């Protein structure tokens, strides 16, 4: 199955237009958030603008350079002016605005209608006038105004100095392209000059889709008149992605002066027709062009049939014959794109459209060939057109590409911890039991019983060995207890056949499987019960031998944002040390909107799914207590003997799968958190068994990560960071870490003591300097620390940093101290309560 997995903020509200001459066409520009998260800086912004100018992106119309969240620190206590983080913007925002204006760009910034931004920085609630004055003084031309943490206050203040882009963003949804355009369908007609429907930043270039997927994504944002805001790292833009972003024929549809969004004309199970009027470029000055998008949202190539009556929504076409143009027909090839990127756009004016010299409206009126795509034979108004792609008609200028459909669970806003609560949702209270047809043109919503049929057919005939399980996650609609025709979100249901017998195997029979799981939907006492380690809330027992059929859905309370916790290949189902096999992999995009935080997930052995619980909370360090038995590394705090989950199952294999998904291109080395792709995740392996033999076993177990280039290492002269940094503790011997034969790759590091002598430890063999906070500093949980304890903490942290180590503390007596410790330079805080992590406004810069 070809998947599209993208992270967008989508506001399913009617855009309210202001008639003030601003945003007469959808805004175009660049925003740092999707690619860099909180790692924004003056250097990044100005360097990006330089590349945008060189590549011709400014000439193509991408005039806004927008700074997103995480640029501030606090407010001035005397006048409440918001303060810039000068470590990121050393010359201040007015300087950045001046530099951008001098280069021909407009400057955009970010704020929030709440008391804090989505990332936990100062918001504008109560300070709207102060911030508006500040932004105006800095020379800000555009404001992205988010709506996190608004204390329940409806609406948002209007900042008069900002362009009226999206005035409030619902924050953090992780949805497919198809889901987003389906959600827009009922309100597409409300977007207009001064108030465009905003689908949020473009994902072109962020490594989550095929080329055809990116073409479709860009095409649909254009025909739906969404602002086109680039959301990738322009400095590392590929030639194919560049050629999509500068396609003048697609941009011209978006910037068409008529400003009318395409409408959904029909929607079958896997295909859609969108069409809408454009300014006339044909032989008549009064007959409007039509943009036509035939969209395949299925998993395979298909023919799509659409009549002229369909395209014109039952209205009489204004002409009997129409020229048909393919808007992707003249796309730059890789050689052309590379020449532009290397030589500069000014050297290739015949290949790239310069909207700063001839605006799109003028170019369309002059029938500029670059804006019209490539033509094809005339199409009669009586004809039917079949195509597996978008077709484009001229006057009906059409965008061409195909959508490969994927449903991804939604996220809450960045920095909000994903819920760890899992309750069964097969009953009518939470999950739509039957498929739901809607009247607004959306894809029919898939109910629980359809998902049961899929699972049982796929599992039919499969043998589940004793002590093992078989599982599948598949899409389903979660209605939150409301009317499913108007409430709810797409979600997943997790099915499992678990054989807890001691010796006998179990073969799945489709009819019996269907009967068991359908019974769950008829009896809430079975599927709505309290969560249990065996049943996970819903089970059907077969006989007396404890073969259970589980159905577990995501809980989506109707008053809260959706939550997403998806796992790889049955990682959820490590029950009682059993091994298992998944029928199909789970989506691997659950970290997309998670902000990495300076926490170390301690006591991982107590968690249902330790790695994923930790990553969902944003922790940048995780822990595995390991015992070596029969050449197998078992994860447990106490000696498990020859049973129990392995480090391979709980950590190594899921990390490889997760990182492979983040790095589809050969040679890339992005970490587990897209919001900060350079952040290395520490895997701390606490040796509980004999040090020497355990060392060798751990070294061998890391080979899949090592082979993929995912391990940080010492290259003989310096530390080279990679997505995973392995740190050893407990019985791990320093002699092994410093021994070239025992650690030939030099990719296993030590955990030293921050409160003891660091002699003998150096950056070639050590990464952490750690201590028990209660012993090293104080057992008092009161904040702030006393001056003497502050000094003690400062001395220890400084000693670690001088050596090049990260300072880490465990047994911190109270979460009240967390922020103070981070502000004092502590790099990692051991946390047992992952739910509490979300309540602390951590800010980390790397």
Residue 761 CA to residue 769 CA, distance in Å, equals 10
Residue 524 CA to residue 294 CA, distance in Å, equals 43
User: Does residue 620 contact residue 636 with C-beta atoms inside 8 Å?
Assistant: no
797-811 pLDDT, tens digit per residue, is 999 999 999 999 999
User: Does residue 553 contact residue 426 with C-beta atoms inside 8 Å?
Assistant: yes
Query: Per-residue pLDDT averaged across 808-815, rounded?
Result: 90
Listed in sequence order, the residues at least 6 apart from 159 whose beta carbon sits closer than 8 Å to its beta carbon are 111, 124, 128, 131, 132, 135, 143, 145
Per-residue tokens: 201: 């930043």
Provide the β-strand partners of residue 467: none
Residue 124: pLDDT over 60? yes
Tell me the CB-side half-sphere exposure of residue 595, using CA atoms within 13 A.
28
Residue 10 CA to residue 542 CA, distance in Å, equals 44
Q: What are the start-end ranges of the E strands in 479-618?
A: 489-499, 506-507, 540-542, 547-553, 581-582, 597-601
Q: What are the start-end ranges of the E strands in 33-100?
A: 64-66, 72-75, 82-84
112 compared with 438, residue with greater pLDDT: 112
Residue with tokens 């999509």: 244
Residue 639 CA to residue 25 CA, distance in Å, equals 66
Of 248-257, 572-581, 800-809, the poorest mean pLDDT is in 572-581
156-170 pLDDT, tens digit per residue, is 333 322 222 222 222
Residue 331 CA to residue 564 CA, distance in Å, equals 37
Backbone phi and psi for residue 623, each to the nearest 5 degrees, phi listed first = -130, 135
User: Does residue 570 contact residue 556 with C-beta atoms inside 8 Å?
Assistant: no
User: Does residue 724 contact residue 713 with C-beta atoms inside 8 Å?
Assistant: no
731 compared with 570, residue with greater pLDDT: 731
The pLDDT > 70 percentage for the chain reads 68
The predicted pLDDT at position 176 comes to: 54
Which 3-state string (H, E, C) describes 161-180?
CCECCCCCCCCCCCCCHHHH
Query: Per-residue pLDDT averaged across 463-468, rounded?
Result: 78
User: Does residue 254 contact residue 229 with C-beta atoms inside 8 Å?
Assistant: no
Residue 688: pLDDT over 50? yes
Separation in Å, CA 750 to CA 213, 364, 719, 761: 44, 64, 13, 8
List of domains in the chain: 421-587 (no CATH), 590-841 (3.20.20.190)
Residue 788: pLDDT over 90? yes
Query: Per-residue pLDDT averaged across 820-836, rounded?
Result: 86
CB atoms within 10 A of CB 154: 5
CB atoms within 10 A of CB 376: 16
User: Does residue 665 contact residue 650 with C-beta atoms inside 8 Å?
Assistant: no
Provide the β-strand partners of residue 304: 387
Residue 418: pLDDT over 60? no
Provide the β-strand partners of residue 496: 471, 550
Give residue 728's Cα distance to chain centre.
31
Q: How confident is the model at residue 819 (pLDDT cuts 50, 70, 90)?
A: confident
Per-residue tokens: 656: 């490889």
For Cα atoms 406, 410, 412, give the angle at the middle one, nearest 5 degrees: 160
- Taking the CA atoms of residue 328, residue 330, residue 336 and residue 340 in that order, the dihedral angle to the nearest 10 degrees is -80
Residue 499 CA to residue 470 CA, distance in Å, equals 9
How high does pLDDT run on average in the chain?
Answer: 74
Residue 328: pLDDT over 60? yes
Query: Per-residue pLDDT averaged across 700-722, rounded?
Result: 94
CB atoms within 10 A of CB 51: 17
Q: How confident is the model at residue 624 (pLDDT cuts 50, 70, 90)?
A: very high
Residue 587 CA to residue 566 CA, distance in Å, equals 6
Helix, strand and coil content of the chain, in percent to the nearest 5, comes to: 25, 20, 50
Query: Which range, 198-212, 259-273, 342-356, 708-722, is most confident?
Result: 708-722
For Cα atoms 330, 331, 332, give the angle at the middle one, nearest 5 degrees: 115
Of 108-112, 277-281, 443-447, 470-474, the poorest mean pLDDT is in 443-447
742-753 pLDDT, tens digit per residue, is 889 999 999 999
Query: Per-residue pLDDT averaged across 173-192, rounded?
Result: 63
In 3-state terms, what secondary structure has residue 286? coil
| Residue of 340, 60, 334, 438 whose CA lies nearest to 222 | 60
757-780 pLDDT, tens digit per residue, is 888 899 999 999 999 999 999 988
511-548 pLDDT, tens digit per residue, is 888 887 776 665 443 333 333 333 333 444 444 455 76
User: Does residue 4 contact residue 297 with C-beta atoms inside 8 Å?
Assistant: no
- Taking the CA atoms of residue 48, residue 50, residue 52 and residue 56 in that order, the dihedral angle to the nearest 10 degrees is -170
Classify the C-alpha dihedral 594-595-600-603 as positive or negative: negative
Provide the β-strand partners of residue 230: 30, 202
The pLDDT > 90 percentage for the chain reads 33
Q: Under the phi-then-psi rule, with left for phi > 0, alpha for psi from -120 to 50, and beta for the rest, what region is 703?
A: alpha
Separation in Å, CA 304 to CA 289, 295, 385, 386, 514: 21, 8, 8, 5, 34
Q: What is 792-833 written as a DSSP string?
A: HHHHHHHHHHHTTPEEEEE--S-GGGHHHHHHTT--EEEES-
User: Does residue 427 contact residue 448 with C-beta atoms inside 8 Å?
Assistant: no
| Residue of 53, 141, 149 whose CA lies nearest to 97 | 141
In this structure, the strands spanning 64-66 and 106-112 are parallel
The predicted pLDDT at position 543 comes to: 42
Per-residue tokens: 391: 């077709």
User: Does residue 167 contact residue 110 with C-beta atoms inside 8 Å?
Assistant: no
Residue 614 CA to residue 67 CA, distance in Å, equals 29
For residues 764-780, one letter each, b for 16 or more C-beta atoms within 10 angstroms of the residue's C-beta and e for the rest, the string is bbbbbbbbbbeebbbee
Query: Per-residue pLDDT averaged across 116-123, rounded?
Result: 91
Query: Per-residue pLDDT averaged across 368-378, rounded?
Result: 64
Q: How many residues does the chain have?
A: 846
Whether this model's pTM surpasses 0.85: no
Query: Per-residue pLDDT averaged across 65-75, rounded?
Result: 96
In 3-state terms, what secondary structure has residue 31? strand
Q: What are the start-end ranges of the E strands in 340-451?
A: 374-380, 384-387, 397-398
In this structure, the strands spanning 619-629 and 681-687 are parallel
């Amino acid at each position: 199955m070809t998947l599209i997995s993208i992270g967008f903020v989508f506001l399913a509200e009617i855009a309210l237009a202001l008639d003030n001459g601003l945003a007469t066409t959808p805004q175009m520009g660049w925003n740092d958030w999707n690619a860099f998260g909180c790692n924004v800086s003056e250097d990044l912004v100005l360097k990006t603008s330089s590349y945008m100018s060189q590549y011709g992106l400014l000439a193509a119309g991408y005039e806004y350079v927008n700074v997103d969240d995480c640029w501030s620190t606090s407010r001035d206590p005397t006048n409440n002016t918001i303060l810039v983080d000068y470590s990121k913007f050393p010359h201040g925002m007015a300087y950045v605005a001046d530099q951008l204006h001098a280069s021909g760009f407009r400057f955009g910034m970010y704020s929030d209608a709440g008391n804090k931004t989505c990332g936990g920085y100062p918001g504008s609630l109560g300070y709207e006038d102060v911030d508006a004055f500040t932004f105006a003084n800095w020379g800000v031309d555009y404001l992205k105004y988010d709506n996190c943490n608004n204390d329940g206050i409806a609406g948002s203040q209007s900042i008069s100095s900002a362009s009226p882009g999206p005035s409030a963003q619902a924050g953090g949804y992780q949805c497919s392209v198809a889901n987003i355009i389906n959600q827009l369908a009922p309100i597409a007609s409300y977007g207009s000059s001064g108030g465009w429907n905003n689908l949020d930043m473009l994902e072109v270039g962020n490594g989550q889709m095929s080329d055809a997927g990116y073409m479709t994504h860009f095409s649909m944002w254009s025909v739906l008149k969404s602002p086109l805001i680039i959301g990738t790292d322009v400095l590392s833009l590929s030639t194919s992605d560049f050629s999509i972003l500068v396609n003048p024929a697609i941009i011209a549809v978006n910037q068409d002066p008529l400003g009318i969004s395409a409408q959904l004309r029909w929607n079958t199970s896997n295909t859609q027709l969108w069409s809408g009027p454009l300014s006339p470029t044909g032989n008549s000055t009064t007959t409007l062009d039509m943009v036509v998008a035939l969209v395949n949202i299925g998993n395979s190539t298909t023919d799509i049939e659409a009549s002229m009556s369909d395209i014109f929504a039952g209205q009489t076409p204004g002409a009997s014959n129409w020229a048909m143009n393919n808007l992707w027909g003249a796309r730059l090839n890789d050689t052309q794109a590379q020449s532009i990127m290397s030589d500069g756009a000014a050297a290739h004016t015949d290949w790239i459209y310069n909207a700063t010299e001839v605006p799109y409206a003028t170019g369309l009126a002059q029938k500029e060939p670059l804006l019209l795509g490539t033509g094809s034979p005339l199409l009669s108004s009586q004809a039917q057109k079949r195509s597996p792609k978008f077709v484009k008609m001229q006057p009906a200028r059409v965008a061409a590409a195909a959508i490969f459909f994927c449903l991804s669970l939604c996220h809450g806003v960045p920095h909000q911890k994903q819920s760890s609560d899992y309750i069964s949702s097969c009953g009518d209270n939470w999950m739509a039991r039957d498929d739901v047809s809607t009247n607004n043109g959306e894809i029919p919503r898939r109910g629980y019983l359809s998902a049961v049929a899929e699972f049982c057919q796929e599992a039919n005939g499969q043998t589940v060995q004793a002590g093992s399980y078989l599982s599948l996650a598949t899409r389903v609609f979660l209605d939150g207890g409301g009317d499913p025709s108007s409430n709810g979100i797409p979600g997943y249901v997790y099915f499992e056949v678990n054989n807890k017998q001691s010796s006998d195997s179990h073969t799945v029979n489709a009819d019996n499987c269907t009967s068991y799981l359908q019974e769950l939907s008829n009896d809430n006492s079975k599927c709505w019960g309290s969560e249990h380690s065996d049943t996970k809330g819903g089970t059907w027992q077969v006989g007396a031998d404890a073969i259970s059929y589980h159905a577990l859905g995501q809980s989506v309370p109707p008053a809260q944002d959706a939550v997403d916790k998806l796992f790889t290949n049955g990682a959820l189902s490590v029950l009682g040390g059993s091994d298992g096999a998944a029928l199909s992999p789970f989506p691997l995009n659950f970290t997309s909107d998670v902000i990495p935080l300076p926490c170390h997930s301690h006591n991982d052995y107590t968690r249902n799914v330790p790695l994923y619980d930790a990553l969902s909370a944003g922790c940048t360090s995780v822990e595995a207590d390991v015992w070596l038995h029969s050449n197998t590394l078992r994860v447990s705090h106490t000696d498990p003997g020859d049973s129990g989950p392995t480090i391979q199952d709980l950590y190594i294999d899921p990390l490889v799968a997760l990182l492979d998904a983040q790095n589809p291109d050969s040679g890339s080395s992005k970490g587990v958190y897209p919001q900060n792709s350079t952040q290395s995740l520490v895997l701390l392996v606490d040796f509980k068994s004999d040090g020497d033999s355990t060392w060798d076993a751990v070294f061998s177990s890391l080979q899949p990560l090592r082979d993929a280039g995912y391990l940080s290492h010492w290259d003989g002269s310096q530390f080279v960071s990679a997505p995973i940094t392995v740190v050893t503790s407990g019985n791990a011997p320093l002699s092994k870490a410093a021994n070239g034969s025992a650690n030939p790759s030099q990719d296993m590091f030590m955990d030293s003591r921050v409160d003891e002598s660091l002699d003998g430890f150096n950056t070639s063999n050590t990464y952490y300097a750690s201590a028990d906070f209660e012993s090293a500093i104080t057992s008092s949980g009161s904040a702030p620390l006393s001056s003497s304890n502050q000094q003690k903490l400062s001395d220890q942290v400084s000693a670690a940093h001088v050596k090049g180590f990260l300072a880490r503390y465990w047994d911190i007596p109270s979460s009240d101290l967390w922020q103070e410790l981070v502000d004092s330079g502590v790099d990692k805080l051991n946390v047992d309560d992952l739910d509490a992590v979300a309540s602390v406004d951590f800010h980390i810069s790397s």
